[in-house]
Amino acid sequence: MKSWIAFWNILKKDVKSYYLKPPNISWGIIFPLSWTLMQLIRSPGGSILELLPGLISMSVLFGTTSMLAVTITFERSGRSFERLLLAPISISIMVLAKIAGTVLFGIFNAFVPVIFASFFIDFSMVNWGLLLFAVLMIATTSALMGLLIAVSAEQVFEAQTFSNFFRFPMLFLCGLFIPISSLPVFLRPLSYCLPLTYGTDILKGAITGTNILSPLLSFGMLPVFEVALFFICRHNINRKWIL
């Protein structure tokens, strides 16, 4: 019960102080809009539906990874983060609470393009359950990666840089823009080590039915990534933040 009170209040505070701030909200709206516009201008007549999985993935990825990395690094540099380490709650609860805010923000970002798209296209084919699952999985794995970055970064700009360092290669390797089958052979194994690859594949399946991987594989791999990342984060926090 006590841990739950702490969990809930950490989440509430983060949402209020970071995620509901105008610059972040507007980022979640402007980014998908401009990306869609860019794609439509580049290839007029392109289907918004086909753009949607990529758009959702990117919105989530960009919203979560750097968000968590930056907010945590920010709290660490102001030392308020010590309060969370000193609170009588387990590191796991604390990590979950920090991630929960980002995941919610990621889900919000994911649905911005969906809502815009709903004005133009027919969604009757979309499997919403699958879509939500994929968004949730992309958001949690990205948030955990953001946390891993936060553990390595000392300063806010480092957190930003590291985030980009991971994000862009991931986008190119995950099969969104370049099909994995067209990647150089030596890069392909790397693609299969990225949670994003599985997440976007489920998204494609849910929206346009064009998934390449077996759904069973994707469904199996994502929780494995989650659990692994969670424990790596916890271990690193214990090692690096408790000196």
List residues binding another protein (CB under 8 A): 1-3, 5-6, 8-10, 13, 17, 78-80, 82-90, 242-243
- What Rg, from alpha-carbon coordinates, does the chain have? 18
Residue type, 186: F
Integer Cα distance of 145 and 140 in angstroms: 9
Integer Cα distance of 65 and 171 in angstroms: 13
Residue number with CB closer to another protein (82 or 154): 82
Shortest distance, position 107 Cβ to another protein, whole Å: 24
Shortest distance, position 150 Cβ to another protein, whole Å: 17
The residue assigned the tokens 């609470």 is 97
Q: What is the dihedral of CA 142, 234, 19, 128, to 10 degrees?
A: 40
Residue number with CB closer to another protein (78 or 184): 78
Nearest residue to 92 (alpha-carbon basis) of 196, 227, 225: 227
Residue number with CB closer to another protein (80 or 164): 80
Integer Cα distance of 24 and 66 in angstroms: 11
Residue number with CB closer to another protein (185 or 243): 243
Token pair for residue 108?
A: 């919000």
Shortest distance, position 87 Cβ to another protein, whole Å: 4
Shortest distance, position 243 Cβ to another protein, whole Å: 5
Residue number with CB closer to another protein (18 or 111): 18
Integer Cα distance of 28 and 102 in angstroms: 13
Residue number with CB closer to another protein (45 or 88): 88
The b-or-e profile of 149-168 (16+ CB within 10 A means b, else e) is bbbebeebebbbebbeebbe
Shortest distance, position 81 Cβ to another protein, whole Å: 8
Shortest distance, position 233 Cβ to another protein, whole Å: 18
